[in-house]
């Protein structure tokens, strides 16, 4: 196993414990307390991040408020704001390898996938740089008597709290910062406590690109402390959250209490339906990659497989073979196809689900055990003989664990697929185009794949039905989350 050499910039970045970004100054957390940054490939400490306190959150919100009320950012000419966001994307591109290495060290994902994440993050920032000078209202011919000039203005919503998870740390931050900055908002970013490094490096790059004081603040720390202080703070106008459904509900309550605007990108347990006429040469490897990619820690992962009984054995055998052929290794190995789970806690969580499945009568058809002796690696796992009443089928496991069932008819497959409280994504495999589109319409989820199990792009709305969330990120809809509409009536 040959691990890539870390770039000198990566080494020097992790060599020092990290600070919080408040009002363009890097500051120690008020308590001076640190949270260890652990490399999930070997369980070793690689750095430390600040454990922010309520007082730090107060300072960050005050800095963002001041930047919004009296700083240049919201008033800046749109073309200028656009140019500055493009400069941020250029900076990220110039430091792409370093960002990818930080992501791999922190999250564990294979370096080639981390490079893909950096590409997607730059893409999102650049895409929204392009929107910054294309935001405008409309004029209206109205029905009231008299002569009127009526128009709408689009304004930034204000100070936004951006709370992101650990599975795609940089991508999630970029998907929120891009539209927030393009709209003219000022922000407080709270990365996940397990993976804050890439966000902190992004903060440095944004300052180097010339982002005015206080426009971006970054507070690191735990959800129940920093996150909770942010969502309950009266100085926050909007909360944008990506994370689990359980935390999403806590945030929805806090948002309701303060009548804050809120968007929620939450968990999923997405169905993947393979019909009898599917092209199995494509369906098998794509279904395997869909669930095993990023060690199954993907919100849209096709984690419930419903396969027609005629092809079930072939499909399960094929997916297990793809899993076996994947090189499981630390993310810094260029050939790694599957890295560790993000943390010891996540490893315990996933393995306890596997045990629960066995207790409920399901059978392990592949994997199910730890891989190697150090770090948090798990073999690609398939749990067969399941039914929709089992915990492993109902709940999001968020690991490389596929649960499988067979069906006889299209109606049965759809009923099984929709029998869930989630509604983030879904996929159907068939060579009949009508079947594909008909089923895509009937699956209650926000993102559907026909003959593909994965799909995401910064221009395409992403979000969930049911308990998978509220609102859509990406694309124009993602920008609208950060804008208020004001209607102006003038009597002529």
Q: Give the residue numbers annotated as catalytic, written as ranges.
A: 265
- Of 4 and 252, the one with the shorter C-beta distance to ligand NAD is 252
- CB of 48 vs ligand NAD, minimal distance in Å: 17
Say how far apart CA 310 and CA 269 lie, in whole Å. Answer: 24
- CB of 383 vs ligand NAD, minimal distance in Å: 19
Residues that bind ligand NAD (rule: CB under 6 A) add up to a total of: 31
- Of 121 and 430, the one with the shorter C-beta distance to ligand NAD is 121
Out of 77, 134, 149, 224, which residue is the one contacting ligand NAD (CB under 6 A)?
A: 224
Considering only residues 20 through 79, tell me which ones interact with ligand NAD, judged by CB under 6 A.
none
Out of 238, 396, 474, 479, which residue is the one contacting ligand NAD (CB under 6 A)?
A: 396
Q: By CB under 6 A, tell whether 290 contacts ligand NAD.
A: no
Q: By CB under 6 A, tell whether 220 contacts ligand NAD.
A: no
Out of 108, 469, 471, 478, which residue is the one contacting ligand NAD (CB under 6 A)?
A: 469
Q: Site mask, ligand NAD, residues 417-456, x = CB under 6 A?
A: -------x--------------------------------
Q: By CB under 6 A, tell whether 265 contacts ligand NAD.
A: yes
Out of 66, 228, 358, 388, which residue is the one contacting ligand NAD (CB under 6 A)?
A: 228
Q: By CB under 6 A, tell whether 223 contacts ligand NAD.
A: yes
- CB of 348 vs ligand NAD, minimal distance in Å: 13
- CB of 108 vs ligand NAD, minimal distance in Å: 14
Out of 40, 110, 267, 330, which residue is the one contacting ligand NAD (CB under 6 A)?
A: 267
Q: Site mask, ligand NAD, residues 157-196, x = CB under 6 A?
A: ------xxxxx----------------------x-xx---
- Of 169 and 184, the one with the shorter C-beta distance to ligand NAD is 169
């Amino acid at each position: 196993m040959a691990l890539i050499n870390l770039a000198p910039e990566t080494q020097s970045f992790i060599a020092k414990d990290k600070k919080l970004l408040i009002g363009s100054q890097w500051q120690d957390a008020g308590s001076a307390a640190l949270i260890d940054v652990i490399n999930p490939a070997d369980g070793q400490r690689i750095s430390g991040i600040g454990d922010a306190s309520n007082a730090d959150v107060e300072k960050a919100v005050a800095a963002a408020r001041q930047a919004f009320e009296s700083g240049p950012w919201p008033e800046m000419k749109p073309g200028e704001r656009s140019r500055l966001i493009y400069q941020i994307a250029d900076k990220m591109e110039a430091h792409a390898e370093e960002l990818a290495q930080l992501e791999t060290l922190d999250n564990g994902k294979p370096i080639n996938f981390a490079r893909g994440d950096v590409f997607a993050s730059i893409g999102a920032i650049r895409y929204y740089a392009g929107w910054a000078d294309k935001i405008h209202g409309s004029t209206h011919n109205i029905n009231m008597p008299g002569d009127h000039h009526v128009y709408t203005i689009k304004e930034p919503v204000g100070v936004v709290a951006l709370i992101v998870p650990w599975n795609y740390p940089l991508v999630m931050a970029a998907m929120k910062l891009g539209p927030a900055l393009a709209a003219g908002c000022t922000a407080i970013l709270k990365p996940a406590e397990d993976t804050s490094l890439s966000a902190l490096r992004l903060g440095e790059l944004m300052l180097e690109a010339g982002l005015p004081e206080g426009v971006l603040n970054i507070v690191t720390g735990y959800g129940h402390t920093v996150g909770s202080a942010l969502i309950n703070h009266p100085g926050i106008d909007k909360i944008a959250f990506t994370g689990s459904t359980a935390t999403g509900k806590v945030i929805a309550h806090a948002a309701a209490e303060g009548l804050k605007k809120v968007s929620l990108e939450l968990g999923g347990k997405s169905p993947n339906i393979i019909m009898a006429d599917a092209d199995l040469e494509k369906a098998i490897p794509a279904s395997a990659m869909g669930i095993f990619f990023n060690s199954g820690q993907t919100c849209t992962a096709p984690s419930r497989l419903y396969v027609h009984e005629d092809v079930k054995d072939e499909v399960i055998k094929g997916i297990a073979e793809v899993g076996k052929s994947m090189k499981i290794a630390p993310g810094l190995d260029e050939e790694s196809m599957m890295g560790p789970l993000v943390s010891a806690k996540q490893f315990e969580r996933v393995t306890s689900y596997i045990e629960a499945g066995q207790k409920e009568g399901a059978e392990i058809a592949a994997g199910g055990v730890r891989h190697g002796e150090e770090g948090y690696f798990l073999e690609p796992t398939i749990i067969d003989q399941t039914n929709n009443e089992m915990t492993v089928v109902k709940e999001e496991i968020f690991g490389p664990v596929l649960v499988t069932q067979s069906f006889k008819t299209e109606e049965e497959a759809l009923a099984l697929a929709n029998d869930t409280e989630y509604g983030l994504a879904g996929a159907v495999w068939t060579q009949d185009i009508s079947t594909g589109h008909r089923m895509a319409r009937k699956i209650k989820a926000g993102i559907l794949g026909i003959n593909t199990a994965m799909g995401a792009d910064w221009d395409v709305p992403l979000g969930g039905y049911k308990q998978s969330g509220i609102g859509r990120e990406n694309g124009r809809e993602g920008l609208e989350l950060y804008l208020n509409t004001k209607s102006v009536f003038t009597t002529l």
